[in-house]
């Protein structure tokens, strides 16, 4: 039987504060309860509050202040999302992205929920104890080959290509100073570069000692028989009961993640539907990597139309915008992240669309069409005015107003707009 439906379980980027707020599903509650209990075994506070309170710290804050909690929250988020998604559609194969491999293997039965959480906790402690210097990860809008050339040109110890996500989306990891140099070079080359809220330089040589410590710490964790198919991007193949999965997870800390190759291999073998269990932008990466597939995200119940057979959403009722019924900025962040292939938390409301996210005027025009479809905007909106906005927060204000209700109840309605939606970026008041 062909593996037609793939569940994608994210790692970094998969945490959204309060993503399970108001959730009553048993399969979600069980994961959160067990994750909290395991955190207690390690003398740490639980993470269920992070996933049920919309006002909880964001990923960037946790990466800086509490990377242990962030790692455990990522695991719980991916696993709970996959278990909930399985009520609507059963996966033929699971793929974990980076740390998401722990959640994927747990879902498949290789570890029980508690042992999966223990793997994450031991991993987090090993990183805290044995990462030799501050570092992180930087996403580049470059093919992997060109990113490799850039890394070699910078020639900084510990700098490496860490993840190949899509044809023009590669992530490098390394020490702080090296990443700053890469960002400057990328800017000079007019290449988009976005710093990711990753607390460590994952999938690179700097984590060798941490990987050894992690492997030693989890030697007694029981590996159980698999109940579902799991494709490991790091292994470049399906795993089996004969695979030493703990050794694979330890090795994963220091070797690159070829996510693009995994998606293409599964697609070539018949995969047609990809379900992202979270909101890290993996669905967007898939759409940029292979043709004629349908994608969805468990975090987005009103998803944009995708390449494939996905349903077209109905136009938005303007009365729901700005009145507490719909988070316009949040949806814009997810829309842009999914299209660009960035984690949602990297696409902040105040990030400069050009300087920080690498969105030129042509891409802005393309995105405006997606925004118009997503929010049911008609052809009378002022495209030039929309294209001229520098940040998503500014764009959210315009979307809300154009749909019929100002974001600020005391704000005046916008003035009348020209009659056509500008599609030619050269005629808009946007920087090139």
Instruction: Give 119-146 pLDDT, tens digit per residue.
Output: 999 999 999 999 988 899 999 989 999 9
Query: pTM of the prediction?
Result: 0.76
Distance CA 36, CA 30 (A): 10
> Quick one: pLDDT band at residue 334, thresholds 50, 70, 90?
confident
Average pLDDT score over residue span 300-306:
42
Q: How many CB atoms lie within 10 A of CB 135?
A: 23
Domains and CATH numbers, the chain: 5-131+206-297 (3.40.366.10), 135-199 (3.30.70.250), 318-427 (1.10.1200.10)
Strand partners, 129: none
pLDDT at res. 68: 97
pLDDT at 209 over 60: yes
Return the ∠ at Cα 339 (arms to 399 and 276), rounded to 5°: 110
State pLDDT tens for residues 371-426.
877 787 765 555 666 777 778 888 888 888 776 544 333 333 333 333 232 222 22
pLDDT at res. 389: 77
Distance CA 131, CA 209 (A): 8
Q: Of the given ranges (126-130, 183-187, 188-192, 216-220), which has the lowest mean pLDDT?
A: 188-192
pLDDT at res. 171: 95
Q: Give percent of the chain above pLDDT 70.
A: 82
Helix ranges (DSSP H) in 112-143: 113-130
Cα distances (Å, whole numbers) of residue 173 to 188, 242, 375? 19, 31, 36
Distance CA 83, CA 263 (A): 21
Rounded (10°) angle between helices 328-340 and 392-402: 120
Instruction: Count the alpha carbons within 13 Å of 123 in the hemisphere toward its beta carbon.
Output: 31
Contact status, residue 81 vs residue 47, Cβ threshold 8 Å: no
Cα distances (Å, whole numbers) of residue 53 to 16, 33, 271, 373? 10, 15, 35, 30
Edge-to-edge strands, sheet with 93-96: 237-238, 230-232, 93-96, 5-9, 273-276, 294-297
> Quick one: pLDDT band at residue 360, thresholds 50, 70, 90?
low
Distance CA 132, CA 280 (A): 28
Average pLDDT score over residue span 109-127:
98
pLDDT at 312 over 60: no
> Quick one: pLDDT band at residue 286, thresholds 50, 70, 90?
very high
pLDDT at 361 over 80: no
> Quick one: pLDDT band at residue 191, thresholds 50, 70, 90?
confident
DSSP strand pairing (193-196 vs 237-238): unpaired
**Rg for the chain (alpha carbons), in Å?**
21
pLDDT at res. 404: 57
pLDDT at 284 over 90: no
Average pLDDT across the chain, whole number: 84
3-state SS assignment for residue 9? strand
Q: How many CB atoms lie within 10 A of CB 301?
A: 8
């Amino acid at each position: 039987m062909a593996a037609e439906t793939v569940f994608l379980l994210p790692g970094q980027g998969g945490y959204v504060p309060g993503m399970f707020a108001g959730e009553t599903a048993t399969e979600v509650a069980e994961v959160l309860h067990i994750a909290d209990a395991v955190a207690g075994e390690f003398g740490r506070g639980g993470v269920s509050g992070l996933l049920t309170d919309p006002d909880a710290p964001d990923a960037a804050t946790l990466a800086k202040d509490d990377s242990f909690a962030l790692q455990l929250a990522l695991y719980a988020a991916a696993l709970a999302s996959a278990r909930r998604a399985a009520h609507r559609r059963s996966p033929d194969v699971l793929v974990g992205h980076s740390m998401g491999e722990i959640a994927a293997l747990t879902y498949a039965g290789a570890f029980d929920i508690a042992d999966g959480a223990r793997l994450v906790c031991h991993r987090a402690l090993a990183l805290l104890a044995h990462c030799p210097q501050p570092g992180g990860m930087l996403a580049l809008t470059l093919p992997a080959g060109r990113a490799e050339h850039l890394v070699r040109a910078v020639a900084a110890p510990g700098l490496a290509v860490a993840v190949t996500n899509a044809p023009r989306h590669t992530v490098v990891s390394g020490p702080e100073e090296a990443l700053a140099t890469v960002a400057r070079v990328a800017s000079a080359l007019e290449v988009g570069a976005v710093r990711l809220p990753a607390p460590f330089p994952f999938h690179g040589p700097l984590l060798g000692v941490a990987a050894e410590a992690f492997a030693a710490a989890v030697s007694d964790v029981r590996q159980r028989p698999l109940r579902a198919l799991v494709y490991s991007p790091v292994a470049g193949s399906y795993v089996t009961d004969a695979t030493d999965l703990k050794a694979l997870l330890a090795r994963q800390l220091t070797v690159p993640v070829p996510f693009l190759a995994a998606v293409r291999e599964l697609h070539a073998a018949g995969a047609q539907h990809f379900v992202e269990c979270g909101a890290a932008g993996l669905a967007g990466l898939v759409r940029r990597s292979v043709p004629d597939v349908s994608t969805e995200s468990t975090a987005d119940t009103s998803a944009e139309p995708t390449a494939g057979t996905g349903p077209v959403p109905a136009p938005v009722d303007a009365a729901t915008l700005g009145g507490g019924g719909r988070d316009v900025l949040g949806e814009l962040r997810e829309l842009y992240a999914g299209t660009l292939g960035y984690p949602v938390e990297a696409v902040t409301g105040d990030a400069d669309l050009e300087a920080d996210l690498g969105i030129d005027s042509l891409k802005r025009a393309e995105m405006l069409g997606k925004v118009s479809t997503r929010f049911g905007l008609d052809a009378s909106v002022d495209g030039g005015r929309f294209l001229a906005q520098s940040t998503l927060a500014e764009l959210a204000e315009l979307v809300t107003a154009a749909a019929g209700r100002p974001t600020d109840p005391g704000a005046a309605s916008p003035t009348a707009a020209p009659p056509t939606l500008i599609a030619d970026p050269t005629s808009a008041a946007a920087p090139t």
